[in-house]
Structure 1
Amino acid sequence: MEIPRRDITTDLGLLLIVLIWGVNFSVLKVLLRELDPLALNALRFPMAAVALWILVRRLDGSLKPDPEDLRRIITLGLLGNVAYQLCFIFGVDSTFAGNASLLLATTPVWTLFLSSVAGHERPGGWAIIGVVGTLIGIFMVITGSRDAGTLASPTTRGDLLILIASMLWAMYTVGGQKPVTRYGALRVTAWTLWVATPIIFFMGLPGLMRTDLRAITPEAWI
């Protein structure tokens, strides 16, 4: 049976996303050796905001949501790009890249749970088994690190922050279903990022001002 071309393209796109996210954790660990977590976000968020502005301008045209959706967009921006990013960047800074990638991969489980609570879908038996298996895996990752064991452990704190980040991203995903259906993923992503960028930038500005950008290695800039 021939698989439709569209399905293959979608699968390849998802595989590419997995690859990018897998590399992302290792790259961030390198960057965090040279930059304060908040300073790093203050550098990268404005660049992402400009890149998305160009994409939205060229592909979608419209840059403003309808007034009745503005409150939801702002809430999603604060949830998915401010609260999430704070937990994510400090979590990655404190734990191992492998731990972070595994724990953040639990996002679909929390998304399924929240979507079920919201009445969007009903999980079947296999999905419930998968959730239980994931929860067991979370426990093993957090307690299995070589310096884990107490909340005083930096790795344990980092693992918990990444776990919270995973839940926050699930909330962002479920909460964003309606605006994404109405406006498309690109515009909603751009709007929520623009909400967060000024906050993230000013939070990281003190650390950025203390950073000698000339001392950052070419490896980190690349």
Structure 2
Amino acid sequence: MPLSTFLGAVLVMVIWGTNFTVIDIGLRSFDPYLLASLRFLLAAVPAVFFIKRPNVPWRPLLLYGLFFGIGQFGLLFAGMDLGFSAGLASVVMQLQAFWTIGLAAGLLGERVSPRFLVGFAVAAGGMALVAAVTDGSVTAAGTVMVVGASLCWGIANLIIKKARPDNALAFTVWASLVPPVPLFLMSLGLGGWGTVEHSFTTMGWTGLGSLLYMVYPAILFGFALWGHLLRTYRTSRVAPLTLLVPIFGMTSSVLFLGEPLGALKATAITLVVLGLVLNQFDVIGKVRARRAPRNPGPVPAGVPCAEVTAEPTKAG
């Protein structure tokens, strides 16, 4: 991979990591469901008029829009609005890797390796410590929402795995047509028209800028470049870069939002990231073994879905 391409990939990780801090800033101006609705509206329009619909039926597009849009981002924004910090959210959301492989094992019959179980146990220990954080950056309701968002992300990964679109960016853009109206109705139903009106009248340049950041750098630029990397280079070379997302997410939250980073939280983050590392490199090793076997033969039926966990949907 040329240095310029590598630096571009790292830039995408920076954008996706700091996106959690930007979401926190945006929630100061917008109702969470309204913010999510606008995010997907701007991601879909006007892009759908210029990007051809992917070669998949409407059903996976609708399901992906439901779980990726309403489930993942609706719950993520709501959880952060309920007091779950941006930095921790960037870490906890990466649990989607475990959800993805666990669901693939349960629903698709894919085998789960011993190292995956070890990685899951380590990450679960980190999550137990997250629940014990008392510095004001964690709430019970927020934790449930964010963990639920990571689960919806895992389900969305299986949907895109089954759909196998020819263009991940086009798939995301067209699926983004699904969430705006339901999310807007949720905002209207929970807060009334006054909440919607207040969001628009008080958003200012900061609120508008955060919304535009979530759409254009985070989705359109990030997904286009990430999709190019996945098509051009081996997944085993590209996937490990996603481990940078929670690192940049936590760092940006500490620097720009003043999120406290005590010993307990640092330990919890370390355990979750360590669990992700164990899972990531176990998956990569299996992909390498599958692609370059010493003794050519049938591909084992239970190889974990590395392509799913390395899709652009990894970063939000």
So what's the TM-score if we normalise by structure 2?
0.57
Contact 2:54–2:167 (CA under 8 A) maintained in structure 1: no
Structure 1 match to 2:95: 106
Q: Distance in 2 between matches of 1:172 and 1:146?
A: 32
Q: Which moved more, 1:25-34 or 1:115-124?
A: 115-124
* 1:28 is aligned to 2:12: no
Q: Which runs of structure 2 are paired with 1:79-90 in the superposition (5 Å)?
A: 79-90=67-78
Q: Which moved more, 1:16-25 or 1:100-109?
A: 16-25
Aligned residue identity for 1:38: Y
SS at match of 2:179: helix
Contact 2:65–2:178 (CA under 8 A) maintained in structure 1: yes
Deviations 1:41-94 (A, max 9, x none): 2332221111532552xxxx3x3655xx32232122212211222211101112
* 1:204 is aligned to 2:187: yes
Structure 1 match to 2:281: none
Structure 1 match to 2:61: 73
Aligned with 1:92 (options 69, 80, 83): 80
Aligned with 1:131 (options 117, 120, 129): 120
Q: 1:106 to 1:17 in 2, by over 3 A?
A: farther
Mind listing any 5+ residue stretches in structure 2 that lack a counterpart?
A: 210-316
Q: Distance in 2 between matches of 1:44 and 1:174?
A: 23
* 1:178 is aligned to 2:162: yes
Aligned residue identity for 2:154: A
- The root-mean-square deviation of aligned C-alpha atoms, in Å, is 2.7
Contact 2:37–2:179 (CA under 8 A) maintained in structure 1: no
Contact 1:80–1:172 (CA under 8 A) maintained in structure 2: yes
Contact 2:37–2:184 (CA under 8 A) maintained in structure 1: yes
* 1:217 is aligned to 2:204: yes
Mind listing any 5+ residue stretches in structure 1 that lack a counterpart?
A: 149-153
Contact 1:49–1:197 (CA under 8 A) maintained in structure 2: no
Identity in percent: 26
Q: 1:73 to 1:42 in 2, by over 3 A?
A: closer
* 1:38 is aligned to 2:33: yes
